[in-house]
Amino acid sequence: DTGVSQDPRHKITKRGQNVTFRCDPISEHNRLYWYRQTLGQGPEFLTYFQNEAQLEKSRLLSDRFSAERPKGSFSTLEIQRTEQGDSAMYLCASSPGGSQGGRNQPQHFGDGTRLSIL
Protein backbone atom coordinates (compact mmCIF):
# COMPACT_ATOMS: atom_id res chain seq x y z
CA ASP A 1 0.00 0.00 0.00
CA THR A 2 1.59 3.28 -1.05
CA GLY A 3 0.36 6.07 1.13
CA VAL A 4 1.15 9.74 0.79
CA SER A 5 4.88 10.21 0.27
CA GLN A 6 6.82 13.38 1.04
CA ASP A 7 10.37 14.25 0.15
CA PRO A 8 12.66 15.21 1.74
CA ARG A 9 11.83 14.17 5.30
CA HIS A 10 14.16 16.80 6.71
CA LYS A 11 15.56 20.01 5.25
CA ILE A 12 18.04 22.30 6.93
CA THR A 13 18.89 25.53 5.17
CA LYS A 14 20.17 29.01 5.80
CA ARG A 15 17.88 31.98 6.05
CA GLY A 16 17.27 33.55 2.66
CA GLN A 17 17.61 30.35 0.66
CA ASN A 18 14.84 28.84 -1.44
CA VAL A 19 13.48 25.37 -0.67
CA THR A 20 11.15 23.03 -2.53
CA PHE A 21 9.23 20.09 -1.14
CA ARG A 22 7.51 17.32 -3.05
CA CYS A 23 4.37 15.38 -2.26
CA ASP A 24 3.15 12.25 -4.01
CA PRO A 25 -0.47 11.61 -3.06
CA ILE A 26 -2.28 8.31 -2.99
CA SER A 27 -2.85 7.24 -6.56
CA GLU A 28 -6.11 8.51 -8.07
CA HIS A 29 -6.83 10.87 -5.17
CA ASN A 30 -8.20 14.02 -6.75
CA ARG A 31 -7.65 16.35 -3.81
CA LEU A 32 -4.28 17.33 -2.41
CA TYR A 33 -3.71 19.57 0.61
CA TRP A 34 -0.74 21.31 2.19
CA TYR A 35 -0.59 22.11 5.90
CA ARG A 36 1.98 23.60 8.21
CA GLN A 37 2.44 22.36 11.76
CA THR A 38 4.53 23.93 14.50
CA LEU A 39 5.47 22.22 17.72
CA GLY A 40 2.51 21.62 20.01
CA GLN A 41 -0.07 22.89 17.54
CA GLY A 42 -2.50 21.27 15.16
CA PRO A 43 -1.89 21.41 11.41
CA GLU A 44 -2.78 24.76 9.80
CA PHE A 45 -4.28 24.73 6.33
CA LEU A 46 -2.17 26.35 3.59
CA THR A 47 -3.74 25.40 0.26
CA TYR A 48 -5.50 22.65 -1.64
CA PHE A 49 -5.87 21.36 -5.18
CA GLN A 50 -8.69 19.63 -6.97
CA ASN A 51 -6.75 17.81 -9.69
CA GLU A 52 -4.43 20.48 -11.10
CA ALA A 53 -6.55 23.46 -10.03
CA GLN A 54 -5.53 25.33 -6.89
CA LEU A 55 -8.89 26.09 -5.30
CA GLU A 56 -8.05 27.83 -2.06
CA LYS A 57 -5.10 29.51 -0.42
CA SER A 58 -4.82 30.51 3.22
CA ARG A 59 -3.75 33.97 4.28
CA LEU A 60 -0.81 32.14 5.88
CA LEU A 61 0.49 31.52 2.37
CA SER A 62 2.47 34.69 1.75
CA ASP A 63 3.79 35.65 -1.66
CA ARG A 64 7.02 33.82 -0.81
CA PHE A 65 5.11 30.55 -0.94
CA SER A 66 3.95 28.87 -4.12
CA ALA A 67 2.41 25.48 -4.71
CA GLU A 68 1.86 23.63 -7.94
CA ARG A 69 0.26 20.43 -9.10
CA PRO A 70 0.93 20.58 -12.82
CA LYS A 71 -0.44 17.24 -13.96
CA GLY A 72 -2.90 16.62 -11.18
CA SER A 73 -0.66 14.02 -9.57
CA PHE A 74 2.36 15.06 -7.46
CA SER A 75 2.63 18.55 -5.98
CA THR A 76 5.49 20.85 -5.02
CA LEU A 77 5.58 23.55 -2.36
CA GLU A 78 8.29 26.18 -2.77
CA ILE A 79 9.33 28.74 -0.19
CA GLN A 80 11.46 31.58 -1.44
CA ARG A 81 13.78 33.70 0.72
CA THR A 82 13.18 31.56 3.77
CA GLU A 83 12.81 33.21 7.18
CA GLN A 84 13.24 31.86 10.71
CA GLY A 85 9.48 31.76 11.14
CA ASP A 86 9.18 29.28 8.29
CA SER A 87 10.68 26.56 10.49
CA ALA A 88 7.93 23.98 10.84
CA MET A 89 6.68 20.60 9.68
CA TYR A 90 5.04 20.80 6.27
CA LEU A 91 2.40 18.15 5.82
CA CYS A 92 0.73 16.96 2.66
CA ALA A 93 -2.56 15.08 2.56
CA SER A 94 -4.78 13.65 -0.13
CA SER A 95 -8.37 12.50 -0.39
CA PRO A 96 -10.61 11.10 -3.13
CA GLY A 97 -12.93 14.13 -3.32
CA GLY A 98 -14.26 15.44 -6.59
CA SER A 99 -17.70 13.88 -6.61
CA GLN A 100 -20.77 14.23 -4.45
CA GLY A 101 -20.37 10.75 -3.06
CA GLY A 102 -16.71 11.22 -2.36
CA ARG A 103 -16.80 14.57 -0.64
CA ASN A 104 -16.95 13.29 2.92
CA GLN A 105 -13.72 11.40 2.87
CA PRO A 106 -10.91 11.65 5.40
CA GLN A 107 -7.61 13.09 4.32
CA HIS A 108 -4.64 10.76 4.38
CA PHE A 109 -1.45 12.42 5.55
CA GLY A 110 2.17 11.89 4.73
CA ASP A 111 4.83 12.02 7.43
CA GLY A 112 5.81 15.55 6.49
CA THR A 113 8.95 17.49 5.69
CA ARG A 114 10.58 19.10 8.70
CA LEU A 115 12.15 22.42 7.74
CA SER A 116 14.78 24.03 9.94
CA ILE A 117 16.04 27.51 9.11
CA LEU A 118 19.47 28.35 10.50
What is the footprint of other proteins within residues 56-95 (CB under 8 A)? 56, 91, 93
DSSP assignment, residue 86? Answer: G
- Residue 43 sits in the site that holds other proteins (CB under 8 A): yes
- Residue 44 sits in the site that holds other proteins (CB under 8 A): yes
Strands (E), the chain: 5-7, 10-13, 19-24, 31-37, 44-50, 53-57, 65-68, 75-79, 88-95, 108-109, 113-117
What is the footprint of other proteins within residues 92-111 (CB under 8 A)? 93, 97, 103-104, 106-111
How far apart (Å, rounded) are the C-alpha atoms in residues 34 and 89? 11
- Our measurement of the distance from residue 25's CA atom to the centroid of its chain's CA atoms, rounded to an integer in Å, reads 10
- Residue 22 sits in the site that holds other proteins (CB under 8 A): no
- Residue 25 sits in the site that holds other proteins (CB under 8 A): no
- Interacting residues with other proteins (CB under 8 A): 4, 31, 33, 40-45, 48, 50, 55-56, 91, 93, 97, 103-104, 106-112
